[in-house]
Amino acid sequence: MKPYFYDLHIHSCLSPCGDDDMTVHNILGMAMVKGLELIALTDHNSCKNCPAILKAAEGAPLTVLPGMELCTSEEFHVVCLFPSLKPAMAFDEYVYSHLPKVNNNEAIFGKQQILDEQDQVIAVEPIMLAGASTISVEQLPGLMAQFGGFAFPSHIDKNSFSIVASLGLIPPELGFTCVEVFQPNTFFARPGARLITNGYRVITNSDAHYLGDIAEPERQLELESPDFYGLVKSLRVR
Ligand SMILES: [Zn+2]
Ligand SMILES: [Zn+2]
């Protein structure tokens, strides 16, 4: 076991709220400058920039996991990670078929750019990615088993798109073993906060939408290996 610096929740310019500078090379470059060793690309309801970042990361001294920040029908954000591109893109296709077919309004919400590994824009996603899918959080355990992924509720301490803000707790039957707390110092100062996360592995990621927000090398996870299997082995243990 060895400690690795991580950031498992990063948005690219495919997320409408993600800055245009969040290209695959810029994200990789910034993660490497900061000394991160394990990162994940997690755009809203889409994995379509994962092929580019995984290709661009070949030979780089860090591991990039393909992922997505799913917005469930209840408007909970949940980060879903995958061991490789194939299951990630299969999940992407599944989620895409469960998105309301509403066109994105770039002027209001921002661009949704799909890149190649050279940072060239190869397509623009026309369907709005930021809204709720028709997938219920209750479906997630089954979907993660089906697609071979690992999911954890995002930013449970935020006021919006948070399972805890809505329900006040994490229903145990959902089978999550890990939760993301965005600002642990503030959250754990709240009375009762430890009761909410009791029994869960707590991690903190940047949820970066701008390059400068990508995590500093401040937090580490003890892993057997800095990859999906090492990560899941660690985070599945309560
Ligand atoms: Zn979120
Ligand atoms: Zn996010």
Distances (CA, A) of 124 to 54, 66, 86, 115, 129: 19, 19, 21, 9, 11
Q: Provide the 10 A C-beta neighbour count for residue 84.
A: 14
For residue range 202-231, list pLDDT tens digits in order.
999 999 999 999 999 999 999 999 999 999
Residues whose CB is less than 8 angstroms from the CB of residue 15 and which lie 6 or more positions away in sequence, other chains included: 22, 43, 44, 46, 110, 112, 129, 130, 209
Query: Which amino acid is residue 182, in one-letter code?
Result: F
Yes or no: say if 177 and 153 are a contact pair by the CB < 8 Å rule.
Answer: no
pLDDT band at 238 (very low <50, low <70, confident <90, very high): low
Residue 133 C-alpha to ligand 1 middle, in angstroms?
A: 13
Q: Provide the 10 A C-beta neighbour count for residue 62.
A: 19
Q: Give the strand pairing for 220-223 and 77-81.
A: unpaired
Residue 198 C-alpha to ligand 2 middle, in angstroms?
A: 23
Residue 111 C-alpha to ligand 2 middle, in angstroms?
A: 16
Residue 44 C-alpha to ligand 2 middle, in angstroms?
A: 7
Residue 163 C-alpha to ligand 2 middle, in angstroms?
A: 14
Q: Which pLDDT value is given to residue 237?
A: 76
For residue range 162-182, list pLDDT tens digits in order.
999 999 999 999 999 999 999
Residue 98 C-alpha to ligand 2 middle, in angstroms?
A: 19
Q: What are phi and psi of 91, to 5 degrees?
A: -65, -40
Residue 8 C-alpha to ligand 2 middle, in angstroms?
A: 10
Q: What is the pTM of this model?
A: 0.97
For residue range 101-144, list pLDDT tens digits in order.
999 999 999 999 999 999 999 999 999 999 999 999 999 999 99
Q: Which pLDDT value is given to residue 142?
A: 97
